[in-house]
Chains A and B, each alone.
Chain A
Amino acid sequence: MAADPAEFLRIEGITRRFGSVHAVDAVSLDVARGDTLCLLGPSGCGKSTLLRTIAGLEVPDAGRILIDGEDVTAMPPHERPVNMMFQSYALFPHMSVARNIAFGLERQRLPRATIRDRVDEMLALASLQAFADRKPHQLSGGQRQRVALARALARHPRVLLLDEPLGALDRQLRERTRIELSAILERVGVTCVIVTHDQEEALTLADTIAVMRAGRVAQVGTPDAIYDAPVDRETAELFGSLNLFCASVRDGQLHCPALGIVMDAEPEQQGDASLAIRPERLAVLREGEHRDHEITAIVERCDFLGANRLLLLRLDDQSGIRLLTDPRNRVEPGAEIRIGFDHDAIRVLPA
């Protein structure tokens, strides 16, 4: 029975307890065929446990996992049509690169020639042809990562699981590897679940991001939607720095004294709230330039970051504000400047 392609991988109310701790608490998610879901959250939020549950390495206390309509919850890991790339890569140290990649295929009792062809195909996919006979300890970190990926893809899994795929690499290698990884996943077109704590990785690799916190899903959405309309302050803060201001709702109006804003509140907003504005949505205004909202601020610091410049400003009520601007916009600390932002830059979040 083939399921709705939008529900190719179904995670239904999965709960996993360790003692009295709910590592994963009634999580439900759907991944469409060929899509990439990123589980994003701090360490200990339950994202890895959820991934291991899909792989069959953890048995859930409640809930079901369905792949293309088939319930695989009770299936042992070696029978699942799922392969995982481990954070440690878990390459078999006594086997060559080619033997590592062939391992999963040999378990399927495929004909020798088929295995050889598939291994060659995977070596080519991961640009590892020159390293087929090397042992894992003779490879660099980036090469090991590609072996792990090739090994996990070799069996043509219906769902590919990646646990912190770039976590073990140093910073310089990360971006290049991320682009390679993204290209490989796109070419293969496999349905993916990626676990990461790095928001940049999530934003670039995912079709859908599920933000996890304390075993629960805080928000699900496309990278744009989550970046642009986070449901709460913690989710908003996951993606870069954020300016937050206290606000309150009175008589259907939202008041934010720090920014001098009074605007119509949404009907469901009550009591205290937070106004959030991303630093890049603020602009330093020149003579004659205008925005929906404008205030004056004192420059405290002006830091050159290369691609842009970060201004730390202080408002009249002494609250601080961060502004990201063109690196050519140089201002002196102590100067008073006019800054502004458009109305659609404002996000109202629960306090």
Chain B
Amino acid sequence: MTPARFVSSSAWLPLGWMAVFLLLPVAILLRVSFSEPRFEQPPYTELLVVGETGRWLWEGTLQAWRWLFEDPTYRDALLGSLAMASLTTLVCLLLSLPMAWAIARAPLSWRTPLLLAVILPFWTSFLIRVYAWISLLKPEGLINATLTGIGIIDAPLLILHTNAAVLIGMTYAYLPFMILPLYATFVRIEDDLLQAAADLGATPWQTFMRISLPLAWPGVLAGCLLVFIPAMGDFVVPDLLGGPDNYMLGTALWNEFFRNADWPTASALALTMLLVLLAPLALLQRLQRREEVPT
């Protein structure tokens, strides 16, 4: 078997996976989005029906899509999600840069325990950790009790069920996805380069900004995407920690599917979200092609 043939035959596995778990669901969503909701099983109408004359009739409709673009609720949900996901990504990036840098520059024997500490939360269920934040943030929770206890504030801060709580929860949940790729690129930077920068008069801060950070650019991009994409569609954190003014795509999607039982609108919404998330991925591809610099 020639190498080329081997590659093409081994490519069937990811392609098959994509077909079953991405293309097929997308096709189903697309099909449902052209239906109308109904209170039966399945909860959407057929697209093609056999008419009285015995011929196939097209019964599909663009109503769900029209709905999606006309009702400002969805636009607000999209903007809300964009804002929250962007903010989460930014906060994660700012927190992760020093942390990933410190781990990558720590003595070799320290790196594994430190990385383990970053990954350790994954041992516990995501849902349980978000619930833990409720008890930390609530008015009579640990944070408020401590702050009032030592007299920094008189009345408890109302954090739970606000945007701040969502930001805290999402930052906490997605931080490791930013730290790990950053660490992976930082750790590959040769000590010689940093010493050469110092030798040429750069302060540690200048060395970080001009050498380490540019060289870690692929890690920054990967980390931002790994945080931004799940943050865009997150439902658990905004639902549990967020409040009424916190309307995001994930919540909107859940509402359409389960509360309103409007599967066509929900499907159209899900597809729109997918398209929105494809944009940063395409951007990444373009940037990476431009940045092709072997080190």
B211 adjacent to A137 (CB under 8 Å):
no
Q: Which one, B193, B199, B206, contacts A92 given CB within 8 A? A: B193
B190 adjacent to A78 (CB under 8 Å):
no
B195 within 8 A of A: yes
Given known contacts A93-B295, A107-B206, A83 and B199 CB-to-CB distance under 8 angstroms: yes
Chain B residues in 8 Å Cβ range of A240: none
B190 adjacent to A88 (CB under 8 Å):
yes
Chain A residues in 8 Å Cβ range of B195: 55, 57, 77, 86, 90
* CA gap between A260 and B214 in the complex, in Å: 71
Chain A residues in 8 Å Cβ range of B193: 90, 92-93
* CA gap between A92 and B195 in the complex, in Å: 11
* CA gap between A90 and B211 in the complex, in Å: 11
B200 adjacent to A107 (CB under 8 Å):
yes
* CA gap between A103 and B24 in the complex, in Å: 53
B192 adjacent to A90 (CB under 8 Å):
yes
Given known contacts A88-B192, A90-B190, A94-B215, A76 and B294 CB-to-CB distance under 8 angstroms: no
Chain A residues in 8 Å Cβ range of B197: 92, 103
B293 within 8 A of A: yes
B198 within 8 A of A: yes
Given known contacts A88-B190, A88-B192, A90-B192, A137 and B199 CB-to-CB distance under 8 angstroms: no
Nearest-Cβ distance from residue A85 to partner chain B, whole angstroms: 9
A155 adjacent to B295 (CB under 8 Å):
no
Chain B residues in 8 Å Cβ range of A151: 200
B203 within 8 A of A: yes
A86 adjacent to B196 (CB under 8 Å):
yes
Chain B residues in 8 Å Cβ range of A78: 198-203
**B interface majority secondary structure:** helix
A104 adjacent to B192 (CB under 8 Å):
no
Chain A residues in 8 Å Cβ range of B211: 92
* CA gap between A230 and B215 in the complex, in Å: 48
* CA gap between A88 and B198 in the complex, in Å: 16
Residue of chain A at shortest CB distance from B204: A78
Chain A residues in 8 Å Cβ range of B200: 78, 83, 103-104, 107, 151, 155
* CA gap between A78 and B196 in the complex, in Å: 9
* CA gap between A128 and B251 in the complex, in Å: 60
A172 within 8 A of B: no
* CA gap between A134 and B294 in the complex, in Å: 13
Residue of chain A at shortest CB distance from B194: A90
Residue of chain B at shortest CB distance from A157: B199
Residue of chain B at shortest CB distance from A57: B195
Which of B190, B201, B214, B215: most chain A CB closer than 10 A?
A: B201
Given known contacts A55-B199, A107-B201, A155-B201, A94 and B293 CB-to-CB distance under 8 angstroms: yes
A84 within 8 A of B: yes
Given known contacts A93-B293, A107-B206, A137-B295, A76 and B198 CB-to-CB distance under 8 angstroms: yes
Nearest-Cβ distance from residue A44 to partner chain B, whole angstroms: 19
A135 within 8 A of B: yes
Chain B residues in 8 Å Cβ range of A135: 293
Interface string of A76-119 (1 = CB under 8 A from B): 11111011101010111110000000011001100000000000
Residue of chain A at shortest CB distance from B206: A107
* CA gap between A56 and B190 in the complex, in Å: 18
Some 27 contacts from A to B, beta carbons below 8 A apart, are A55-B195, A56-B198, A56-B199, A57-B198, A76-B198, A78-B199, A78-B200, A79-B201, A83-B200, A84-B196, A86-B196, A88-B190, A90-B190, A90-B192, A90-B195, A90-B196, A92-B211, A93-B193, A93-B293, A94-B215, A103-B200, A103-B210, A104-B200, A137-B293, A137-B294, A137-B295, A155-B201
Top 7 A-B pairs, shortest CB-CB distance: A104-B200, A107-B201, A90-B196, A90-B192, A77-B198, A93-B295, A78-B198
Starting from the known contacts A78-B201, A155-B200, 4 additional A-B residue pairs (CB-CB under 8 Å) come to A78-B202, A107-B202, A135-B293, A152-B199
